[in-house]
Structure 1
């Protein structure tokens, strides 16, 4: 008797209903989103006093009030790559200037009559701020390779020694700028504690009017700015 014929093997088939998506964890995504939201809220809380003081000064102004100095909008942050050096040739990081209001004078090391006038204005205005003077540092930026005279250094250091730094003019001009028709040396510049240039005094500035601007700024920022870096 012959054996019955064997049925031909049928191909094996698979049915895939669902596969997990690799690399995606729902809980992890939710945790990441929650963490980012919390971080943004913390940043907002920290920035609020700064924003509020600037809004108070720049936006909410009593009728008829005007600023004597030029407000820089948008503000210009000091470049992290600005090549600053001490007079001894040591490198100084631009970020080290953060944390304090800066009253900046730009003048060659030879320090002519205009330079002496600006340095005197810088010193006298800071002294007239009274208890708030410790919230502001004097800075002299020298855009050439010369060495200041000893008598000049002695004079500007008689009360509080300023920060004197050397920086190439072409690099400095990428940050600070004079008014049209003027030179860098004809102005004094105000930099806020976040390292942002935000005000430029007119050439031949009147001390009394400039002092009023400084007092308003210091008063508006008193809730978040403290003396010293």
Structure 2
């Protein structure tokens, strides 16, 4: 009887240790993300005089709520992609001058991330049903690592209408930062400088997990 009690006690101890180990592993996974959001939304942990340069989108919007497709018409979901931070550069069938400037600026910032660049990706968000041959050639030549994902312009406008962004944000040349879980959380304007983007993304990479 005593042996049975001892064995039961040992089993309970092992189960307790297993639960504690599982909880510790989960904490390691989710804690960096919790810290990242706490830093940005409360300011706790940010040195005095240091603030985000982009405009926080309130509330953040999940991009998978859009009917996203590849240019070939296949469904595209960020939840099925590699976990990365992403700059979203909206554009139409023809990428206008501001669109090209946004692509150029985000490319230069991406390059300056050096060894951290693999944790970040840029997306061209196509707001038309097709893309002009000239624009396609431009992206493939000047920005060869930028995937093209399309979504109806009305759906994108409706998504951002639920936030604090101005109604003409896209028309005014805004582009966006999306977190690793697919939430579009920050907006930039043509007035923002490369250093602004670099400071923000470095801070987010510092406080977020890496797979």
TM tier, shorter chain?
0.7 to 0.9
Tell me how far apart the structure 1 counterparts of residues 123 and 166 of structure 2 sit (CA, whole Å): 23
- Give the drift of 1:106: 0.4
Aligned to 1:201: 188
Higher relative contact order, structure no. (Cα contacts within 8 Å, ≥ 6 residues apart):
2
User: Of 203, 208, 218, which aligns to 2:205?
Assistant: 218
Once the 2 structures are TM-superposed, how far is the Cα of residue 127 of structure 1 from its aligned partner?
1.0
**1:89 deviation in Å?**
2.0
Matched, 1:111 2:98: no
2:85 maps to which residue?
101
Question: How does the TM-score come out when normalised to structure 1?
Answer: 0.70
- Note the C-alpha offset of 1:57: 4.1
Deviation at 1:94, TM superposition (A): 4.3
Unaligned stretches of 5+ in structure 1?
A: 1-33
Q: Could you say which structure has the larger radius of gyration?
A: 1
What residue number does 1:180 align with? 166
Please name the residue that 1:74 is paired with: 59
- Residues 91, 143 of structure 1: CA spacing in aligned structure 2 closer, same or farther, 3 A cutoff? same
String of CA shifts for 1:152-183, please: whole Å, max 9, x gaps: 43443346421101110121223346832633
Match of 2:3 in 1: none
Asked if 1:142 corresponds to 2:129, the answer is: no
Cα distance change, pair 97–123 in 1 and its aligned pair in 2 (3 A): same
In structure 2, C-alpha distance between the alignment counterparts of 1:156 and 1:204, rounded to whole Å: 23
TM-score w.r.t. structure 2 length? 0.75
Structure 2 distance, partners of 1:171, 1:189, is 16
Q: Does the C-alpha gap of structure 1 residues 46 and 174 become closer, same or farther in structure 2, counting only changes over 3 Å?
A: farther
2:102–2:190 contact (8 Å) kept in structure 1: no
**Corresponding position of 2:139:** 156
Aligned residues of 2:174 and 2:188 also touching (Cα < 8 A): yes
Q: Distance in 2 between matches of 1:176 and 1:128?
A: 29
Q: CA RMSD in A?
A: 2.6
Q: Which residue of 1 is the match for residue 48 of structure 2? A: 63
For the residues of structure 2 that align with 1:124 and 1:154, how far apart are their CA atoms? 19
